[in-house]
Amino acid sequence: MKPKTGEILAMATYPSYNLNDPFTIPVEKNEDGTAKPKEGETGNSQSPETTGAGDTQVDKKTLLENLWRDRNFSSTYEPGSTFKLIVSAAALEEQITTTDVPNDFHCEGYTIIEDAVEEDIKIGCAQYAVHGKQTLREALRNSCNAAFIQLGSRIGKETLYKYFEGFGLFEKTGVKVAGESSSRFHEIDKVGRVELAVTSFGQRFEITPLQLITAVSTIANDGKLVQPRIVKRVVNTDSGAVEEYNTKEVRKVISEKTAKELRDMMKSVVENRENIYGTVAGYSIGGKTGTSEPSVTRPEDRIRSFLYSNCSS
């Protein structure tokens, strides 16, 4: 996405299909070239009208609908630690902390959330890594869950939800495509200590990839949220009439100062040796890693993601 204009410059989803043969389901191959059946498939590429042993018309219809879906805007997922950028933005804009306060957070590898109704909940960092005392910059670079639980508690659910709304995460982006989905957040009056803790590091709610990239592009655009655009113009080949889709600025979410500080922290993430493969020669790159926690009903949804931006300014 081009942050200043909202133009979607590239977008892809996989597995894909042949536009010239949209009713044929592609078959994944084994190393020896034989078909590898997936759950609910027979292992044969065929049209939905052709059913084999174990196949049903409903199975084919579901498979095709999933194949045709563009998950960038029609499917939701847990953003994981990429969402720590949004929480950081709220903290910096509200002057709850700054980027480099020494010993601002402390991580013992896990956090115990006391719950008055149920048993206390133990939430760990990745592999229960012990990050010790950290600044906000270090916490973002380490992707420390404990630090962001502490930060989320300082910010509070009302202020966090104000910024979630500001970044456009409670509504569809308005991109002109059919089938756009929106997010699934806890209702604010149902957000307790545990819900606030996990929300602060990007779990147990769902957004679309397009909602996330639109929100994070706000950081690259000096705090201005713009509506994403897939189509730039429509030309009538008969009359020559041209309909332009111009940049639409939705609102100012954070200050230019906060946006600049966030970009600087994103650079620290990429400059960390662990994420060296995120660098691009000739550009000053910033980014953030993330891993979605799969739900019990959808164990396949462990999605690893990486957001990056040109942070030259």
The CA distance from 198 to 195, in Å, is 5
Note the maximum CA span of the chain.
69
Bridge partners of 121, per DSSP, are 113
Cβ atoms of 226 and 6 within 8 Å: the answer is yes
Cβ atoms of 67 and 17 within 8 Å: the answer is yes
Q: Sign (positive/negative) of CA torsion 47, 50, 53, 55?
A: positive
Rg (CA), the chain: 22
The CA distance from 101 to 84, in Å, is 17
Q: Which domains does the chain have, with CATH numbers?
A: 1-69 (no CATH), 77-267 (3.40.710.10)
Residue 209, preceding peptide bond in cis (omega within 30° of 0) = no
Query: Which candidate in 16, 75, 81, 305 is catalytic?
Result: 81
Per-residue model confidence (pLDDT) at position 51 = 37
Q: Which amino acid is at 261?
A: E
Per-residue model confidence (pLDDT) at position 176 = 86
Question: Catalytic residue at 88?
Answer: no
The CA distance from 49 to 113, in Å, is 53
Whole-prediction pTM: 0.87
User: Digits of tens for pLDDT over the chain (313 positions)?
Assistant: 999 999 999 999 888 888 899 998 887 666 666 666 554 444 344 443 333 334 566 688 888 888 888 999 999 999 999 999 999 999 999 999 999 999 999 999 999 998 756 788 999 997 789 999 999 999 999 999 999 999 999 999 999 999 999 999 999 999 988 899 999 999 999 999 999 999 999 999 999 999 999 999 999 999 999 999 999 899 999 999 999 999 999 999 999 999 999 999 999 988 875 556 667 778 888 989 898 876 666 666 677 888 877 776 5
Per-residue model confidence (pLDDT) at position 43 = 39
The CA distance from 251 to 152, in Å, is 24
Bridge partners of 233, per DSSP, are 244
Q: Based on the number of CB atoms within 10 Å of its own CB, is 170 exposed (0-12), middle (13-18) or buried (19 or more)?
A: middle
Enumerate residues 6+ apart whose C-beta is below 8 A from 223.
Answer: 252, 253, 254, 255, 256, 258, 259
Structure-derived torsion over alpha carbons of residues 91, 96, 101, 105, reported in degrees to the nearest 10: -80
